[in-house]
């Protein structure tokens, strides 16, 4: 339950911070969630990673669908990802997720000896 | 937005850990360092790689530029810069039809729309014009920037701004346009900035009248800086005798079909320039070499076609005007389509993002179009400096002071580069010992540039007046002050007049003045004046009922002035022949003519090539190619193999004939025009240039033609194995993004034929940037298309949606909206503007 809550809260807080703060504030969001909803390092990492991954990949997927993949196809051939929109969505999710995951570990260690 | 509640939660999360008495310091520190490092790495530019975290973030980066397919462009906006109310109606191709109450609001909104749909283009083009490309591209653009500054691009734009701001009406319009651009920039939120800024990790910069002037000067450079070859000509002069020069670089080609029909009688010249006494010894027969050369020399194919047929030749009895300006094709497109309406004016056509007005278009009474004049309006003078400081130069028997401008070039990811440019009475000293352009071994001759683009002028105002012209007199009046680049303004009116004026400020030269670098130690070689405006080549309502211009020499040898330039002959011949033969012309006929693939030059060249080829020396494969060539219908159509074989053979032949002569000194040399080569071959079967001076035996024409064919065949066989023998596949026509390296934003492999010397002038990346046909009936019937779309956003469906229409030479019917159409079903979105009190 904690795990699921952490994922949802991470995604939610990252989303809100992203509306008006620089992109990297998701690290603060993920770290804070991990510090409040305490889990073991591994689990915290996974929750942080999944929370941000789902948010970023999900948003990208939604925007891509509305856009009919017009831009993802072009950017994916520049990056280079062979012009694959799916690859770009995946990479988007992973980059955000990694930052979220490591931030969550950090948050978890902050909290771990508080009890 | 952040509510207080949210803020409280966030703050609680952030400070909570500090209450812990003991934490596991080591793992915390390690993971904190990893996280920080990761964020840092993803937020930083690595070489040319943009900050990936920011770029990929769905709420900040590229995904924000993914314009939904059903995006609405409806909006209600208010700005303090506006005087009244205005509405912009967008049709299904996102073409805005702007209805404003007055001129200032009209151009404010044009500026706003240009910025909204083409911001990066505005920014990039004017930064490049000002020699600030290094701010975007880094070190690799420094030499380009130095050249722009040394050519005096900013100096030219500053002079233009002074002229613009002298006149209160014109100042008000340019100010309004600038305010409109800045109104958009100010309202722009970071996630919404164009994707190119995100990729390059830079920010948009505010607009100014100077930047508008810079854009117009960039057009002046593209169209009037590459039309001279003075430096290369100087080298040619040092190896060829004067009579050879006249043969290789003739002023009037044998096959010329000029703009002003042959046989026209010209007035006595109003000014007769006098050749200096020492011209022969100091200039015409002087043998000296120049090592300098331009880095970014504009494409000589920056040409165009326009023509007009009078009612006497059309089915409807109303004139039809056509125009297709040939430029480097780009995405976003160089043009932005727009209709501009006030209670006193109503014009439709294409505008240049970065400038107010419609440049090519029509209104309720007239239509107009432009092609490039190709005239030489830029000369070089050799300067003698007193010393390395460049503070003084020798002029008319004494040391005169230069004005030294220190140029600071900011370089992305590097240190500033400082360059000093000395200005003389002639203009800026472009080349000196510290800068030789494309040449790196040069010993550094000091060459100052005299260029009409430097002279104070207000070209924009001509378009302001043309947009409002009602008849021939208004049109002729509007053109009078147009200075640079010289253009052929084609014209038709509903009252039935047709006309062309070649307009610009052109120096009155004595014979061969300014073909080569001139002595600059005194005033004797300076321009003595300009051709009086009313003597510029022009013609109105010719009996034959049609007029055309296609970058050829505007007049035959009866014109009383010496007018060098980089003229292109073949297209004018094709158009003239076609129009002369037509009667009862319809719009459909004009569309067909825009798409014409007939290769006029090859018509002559084919016979010559077949006459001289020694077939018995060819292999079976080569014979096969020759057979395709023999059966070729002279059309450069997309699937033509004959055109590919012809072009490769011809290029190879030119190399065989000229390369040995011209590469003697390993310096830049002007290649004779292909038209000239063809005419020499036609005239003279014992061409002595055919002999390769690097071989002991004497080559004759059959040797050379056969050798050229064999060389071409090797390349052709290679192309054939790659499946690229068909012309469209061979030339791989591509519309590149303004940043050429961003291949993903380009469209390549277009199935289109044509070439620079053919009416449908599509080369690899250059060609008809806008095709327009205006039938001056009531109401006006107009058609147009350009290879791109209205939006500059690669994430928009309007980015490149008209490319296929353009490839197939199909057209959009242009909707000339009227006051009564405000509820028409063609309207898809409405933007309402009002003034903010």
Distance between alpha carbon B778 and the CA centroid of its chain, in Å? Answer: 33
A26 exposure class (CB count in 10 Å sphere: 0-12, 13-18, 19+): buried
Put simply, whether A82 touches B (Cβ < 8 Å) is: no
Give the pLDDT of residue B1.
44
**Per-residue confidence band for A38, with pLDDT thresholds at 50, 70 and 90:** confident
SS3 B722: coil
Q: Which residues fall within 8 angstroms of residue B564, CB to CB, at 6 or more apart?
A: B228, B251, B375, B376, B509, B514, B515
Cβ pair B649, B629 in contact under 8 A: yes
C-alpha angle B395-B401-B406 in degrees, rounded to nearest 5: 125
Strand ranges of the sheet holding B330-331, from the earlier edge strand across to the other edge: B330-331, B733-737, B747-750
Q: Per DSSP, what are the bridge partners of residue B398? A: B395
Q: Residue B88: phi, psi to the nearest 5?
A: -120, 120
Nearest Cβ partner for B58 among A27, A28, A59: A59
Question: What are the structure tokens assigned to B57, written together?
Answer: 């973030």
Put simply, whether A64 touches B (Cβ < 8 Å) is: yes
Interface test with A, best of B9, B25, B58 (most A CBs within 10 A): B58
* Alpha carbons B396 and B313: distance in angstroms, whole number: 58
Chain A residue with the nearest C-alpha to that of B13: A32
Using an 8 Å CB-CB cutoff, list chain B residues near A98. 38
Interface test with B, best of A37, A65, A70, A73 (most B CBs within 10 A): A70
Interface test with A, best of B27, B33, B56 (most A CBs within 10 A): B56
What are the residue ranges of helices labelled H in chain A?
Answer: 2-20, 25-36, 41-67, 70-78, 85-111
Cβ pair B464, B479 in contact under 8 A: no
Question: What are the structure tokens assigned to B582, written together?
Answer: 């037509």
Give the single-character DSSP code of B389.
T
SS3 B62: helix
The interaxial angle of helices B209-224 and B153-166, nearest 10 deg, is: 120
SS3 B720: helix
* Alpha carbons B348 and B356: distance in angstroms, whole number: 13
What's the length of chain B?
Answer: 837
Strand segments (E) across B196-344:
304-309, 320-328, 330-331, 336-342
Give the pLDDT of residue B525.
97
Among B758, B764, B763, B769, residue whose Cα is nearest residue B806: B769
Query: Long-range contacts for B166-172 (Cβ within 8 Å, ≥24 apart)?
Result: B167/B458, B167/B461, B170/B458, B170/B460, B170/B461, B170/B464, B172/B103, B172/B104
Put simply, whether A18 touches B (Cβ < 8 Å) is: yes
This model of the complex carries an ipTM of 0.96
Cβ pair B746, B736 in contact under 8 A: yes
Put simply, whether A39 touches B (Cβ < 8 Å) is: no
The interaxial angle of helices A25-36 and B4-15, nearest 10 deg, is: 70
Using an 8 Å CB-CB cutoff, list chain A residues near B2. 16, 19-20
Chain B residue with the nearest C-alpha to that of A108: B28
Pairing mode, if any, of strands B366-372 and B320-328?
A: unpaired
Nearest Cβ partner for A99 among B13, B35, B195: B35
Interface test with B, best of A11, A56, A67 (most B CBs within 10 A): A67
The verdict on a CB contact (< 8 Å) between A33 and B13 is yes
Put simply, whether A1 touches B (Cβ < 8 Å) is: no
Widest distance between CA atoms in chain A: 51
The verdict on a CB contact (< 8 Å) between B10 and A68 is no
Chain B residue with the nearest C-alpha to that of A33: B13
* Alpha carbons A29 and B149: distance in angstroms, whole number: 49
Give the pLDDT of residue B50.
85
Chain B residue with the nearest C-alpha to that of A56: B58
Q: How far is CA B499 from CA A103, B489, B533, B542, B546, in A?
A: 72, 8, 16, 8, 9
Put simply, whether A97 touches B (Cβ < 8 Å) is: no
Distance between alpha carbon B418 and the CA centroid of its chain, in Å? Answer: 29
Cβ pair B359, B304 in contact under 8 A: no
The interaxial angle of helices B153-166 and B142-150, nearest 10 deg, is: 50
Put simply, whether A63 touches B (Cβ < 8 Å) is: yes
For B496, what's the count of Cα atoms within 13 Å in the CB-facing half-sphere? 9
Q: Quick: pLDDT tens for A40-85.
A: 888 999 999 999 999 999 999 999 999 999 999 999 999 888 889 9
Give the pLDDT of residue A111.
75
SS3 B87: strand
Put simply, whether A24 touches B (Cβ < 8 Å) is: yes
Give the pLDDT of residue B19.
46
Give the predicted TM-score (pTM) of the model.
0.93
* Alpha carbons B182 and B128: distance in angstroms, whole number: 19
Cβ pair B353, B118 in contact under 8 A: yes
Chain A residue with the nearest C-alpha to that of B737: A74
Interface test with B, best of A34, A66, A110 (most B CBs within 10 A): A110
Chain A residue with the nearest C-alpha to that of B68: A67
**CA torsion through residues B820, B822, B823, B824, sign:** positive
Residue in this structure with the two tokens 């007018």, named with its chain if needed = B563
**CA torsion through residues B653, B656, B657, B662, sign:** positive
Mean pLDDT, consecutive 10-residue stretches, chain B (837 aa), reads 49 46 72 89 84 94 96 96 96 97 97 98 96 93 95 97 95 97 95 94 95 96 90 88 88 93 92 93 86 77 88 97 95 97 97 97 97 96 94 96 96 94 96 81 82 95 97 97 95 97 97 95 96 97 96 96 93 94 96 95 93 93 96 97 96 87 71 87 70 69 92 95 96 95 94 94 95 96 97 97 96 95 95 92
CA distance A21 to chain B (A): 9
Cβ pair A7, A47 in contact under 8 A: yes
Interface test with A, best of B1, B10, B32, B35 (most A CBs within 10 A): B35
Q: How far is CA B546 from CA B475, B500, B518, B682, in A?
A: 18, 10, 40, 30
The verdict on a CB contact (< 8 Å) between A23 and B6 is no
The verdict on a CB contact (< 8 Å) between A106 and B17 is no
SS3 B653: helix
The interaxial angle of helices A85-111 and A41-67, nearest 10 deg, is: 150
Using an 8 Å CB-CB cutoff, list chain B residues near A78. 199, 742-745
Nearest Cβ partner for B59 among A19, A67, A76: A19
CA distance B502 to chain A (A): 43
The verdict on a CB contact (< 8 Å) between B32 and A106 is yes
Q: Ramachandran region of residue B666, left (φ > 0), alpha (ψ -120 to 50) or beta?
A: left
User: In whole angstroms, how large is the CA radius of gyration of chain B?
Assistant: 29
Nearest Cβ partner for A111 among B20, B39, B796: B20
Put simply, whether A34 touches B (Cβ < 8 Å) is: no
The verdict on a CB contact (< 8 Å) between A110 and B20 is yes
CA distance B65 to chain A (A): 8
Using an 8 Å CB-CB cutoff, list chain A residues near B17. 35, 107, 110-111, 114
B503 exposure class (CB count in 10 Å sphere: 0-12, 13-18, 19+): buried
- Its domain, for residue A86, covers 2-111
The interaxial angle of helices A85-111 and A25-36, nearest 10 deg, is: 50
* Alpha carbons B179 and B105: distance in angstroms, whole number: 10
Examine the pLDDT at A29 and tell me if it is beyond 80.
yes
* Alpha carbons B680 and B674: distance in angstroms, whole number: 10
Domain count for chain A, please give it: 1
């Amino acid at each position: 339950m904690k795990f699921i809550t952490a994922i949802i809260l991470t995604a939610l807080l990252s989303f809100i911070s992203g509306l008006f703060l620089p992109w990297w504030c998701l690290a603060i969001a993920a770290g804070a969630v991990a510090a409040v909803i305490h889990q073991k390092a591994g689990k915290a990492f996974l929750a942080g990673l999944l929370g941000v991954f789902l948010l970023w990949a999900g948003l990208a997927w939604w925007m891509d669908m509305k856009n009919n993949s017009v831009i993802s196809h072009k950017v994916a051939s520049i990056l280079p990802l062979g012009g694959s929109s799916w690859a770009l969505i995946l990479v988007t999710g992973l980059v955000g997720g990694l930052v979220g995951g490591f931030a969550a570990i950090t948050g978890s260690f902050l909290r771990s000896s508080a009890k | 937005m952040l509510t207080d509640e949210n803020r409280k939660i966030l703050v609680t999360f952030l400070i909570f850990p500090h209450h812990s008495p003991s934490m596991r310091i080591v793992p915390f520190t390690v993971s904190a360092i990893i996280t920080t490092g990761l964020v840092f790495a993803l937020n930083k530019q690595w070489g040319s790689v943009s900050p990936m975290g920011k770029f990929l973030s769905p709420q900040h980066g590229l995904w924000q530029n993914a314009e939904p397919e059903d995006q609405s462009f409806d909006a209600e906006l208010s700005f303090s810069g506006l005087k009244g109310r205005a509405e912009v109606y967008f049709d299904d191709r996102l073409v805005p039809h702007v209805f404003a109450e007055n001129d200032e609001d009209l151009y404010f909104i044009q500026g706003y729309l240009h910025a909204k749909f083409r911001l990066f283009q505005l920014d990039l083009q004017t930064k490049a014009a000002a020699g600030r490309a290094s701010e975007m591209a880094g070190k690799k653009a420094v030499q380009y920037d130095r050249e722009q500054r040394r050519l005096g691009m900013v100096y030219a734009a500053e002079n233009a701004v002074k002229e613009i701001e002298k006149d209160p009406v014109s100042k008000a319009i340019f100010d309004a346009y600038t305010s409109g651009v800045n109104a958009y920039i100010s309202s722009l939120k970071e996630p919404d900035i164009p994707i190119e800024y995100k990729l390059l990790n830079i920010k948009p910069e505010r607009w100014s009248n100077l930047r508008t002037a810079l854009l117009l000067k960039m057009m002046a450079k593209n169209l009037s800086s590459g039309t001279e070859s003075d430096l290369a000509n100087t080298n040619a002069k040092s190896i060829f005798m004067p009579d050879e020069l006249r043969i290789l670089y003739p002023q009037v080609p044998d096959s010329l079909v000029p703009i002003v029909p042959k046989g026209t009688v010209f007035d006595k010249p109003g000014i007769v320039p006098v050749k200096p006494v020492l011209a022969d010894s100091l200039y015409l027969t002087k043998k000296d070499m120049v090592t300098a050369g331009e880095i970014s020399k504009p494409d000589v194919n920056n040409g165009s076609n326009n023509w007009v047929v009078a009612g006497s030749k059309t089915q409807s009895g109303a004139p039809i005007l056509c125009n297709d300006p040939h430029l480097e094709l780009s995405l976003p497109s160089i043009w932005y389509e727009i209709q501009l309406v006030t209670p006193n004016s109503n014009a439709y056509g294409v505008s240049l993002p970065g400038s107010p007005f419609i440049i090519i278009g029509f209104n309720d009474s007239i239509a107009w179009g432009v092609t490039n004049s190709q005239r030489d309006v830029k000369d070089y003078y050799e300067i003698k400096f007193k010393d390395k400081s460049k503070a003084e130069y020798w002029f008319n028997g004494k040391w005169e002071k230069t004005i030294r401008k220190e140029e600071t070039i900011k370089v992305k990811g590097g240190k500033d580069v400082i360059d000093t440019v000395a200005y003389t009475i002639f203009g800026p000293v472009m080349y000196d010992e510290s800068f030789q352009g494309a040449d790196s071994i040069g010993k550094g001759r000091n060459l100052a540039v005299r260029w009409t683009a430097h002279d104070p002028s207000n070209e924009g105002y001509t378009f302001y007046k043309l947009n409002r012209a009602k008849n021939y007199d208004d049109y002729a009046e509007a053109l009078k002050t147009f200075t640079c680049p010289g253009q052929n303004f084609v014209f038709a009116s509903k009252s039935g007049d047709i006309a062309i004026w070649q307009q610009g400020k052109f120096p009155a030269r004595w014979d061969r003045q300014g073909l080569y670098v001139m002595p600059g130690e005194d005033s004797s070689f300076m321009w003595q004046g300009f051709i009086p405006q009313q003597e510029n080549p022009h013609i109105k309502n010719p009996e034959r009922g049609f007029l055309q211009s296609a970058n050829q020499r505007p007049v035959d040898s009866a014109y009383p002035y010496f007018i060098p330039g980089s003229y292109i002959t073949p297209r004018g011949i094709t158009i003239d022949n076609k129009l002369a033969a037509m009667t009862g012309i319809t719009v459909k006929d004009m569309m067909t003519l825009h798409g014409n693939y007939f290769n006029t030059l090859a018509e002559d060249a084919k016979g010559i090539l077949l006459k001289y080829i020694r077939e018995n020396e060819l292999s079976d494969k080569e014979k096969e190619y020759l057979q395709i060539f023999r059966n070729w219908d002279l059309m450069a159509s997309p699937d033509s193999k004959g055109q590919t074989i012809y072009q490769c053979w011809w290029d190879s032949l030119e190399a065989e004939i000229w390369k040995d002569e011209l590469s003697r000194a390993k310096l830049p040399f002007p290649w004779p025009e292909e038209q000239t080569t063809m005419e020499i071959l036609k005239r003279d079967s014992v061409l002595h240039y055919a002999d390769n001076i690097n071989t002991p035996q004497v080559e004759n024409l059959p040797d050379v033609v056969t050798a050229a064919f064999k060389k071409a065949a090797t390349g052709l066989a290679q192309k054939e194995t790659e499946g690229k023998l068909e012309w469209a596949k061979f030339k791989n026509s591509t519309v590149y993004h303004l940043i050429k390296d961003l291949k993903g934003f380009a469209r390549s492999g277009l199935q289109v034929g044509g070439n620079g010397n053919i009416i449908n002038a599509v080369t690899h990346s250059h060609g008809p940037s806008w095709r327009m046909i205006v039938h001056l009936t009531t109401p006006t019937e107009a058609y147009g298309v350009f290879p791109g779309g209205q939006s500059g956003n690669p994430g928009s469906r309007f980015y490149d949606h008209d490319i296929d229409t353009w490839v197939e030479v199909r057209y959009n019917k242009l909707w000339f909206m009227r006051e009564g159409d405000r509820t028409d079903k063609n309207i898809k979105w409405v933007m309402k503007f009002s003034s903010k009190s």
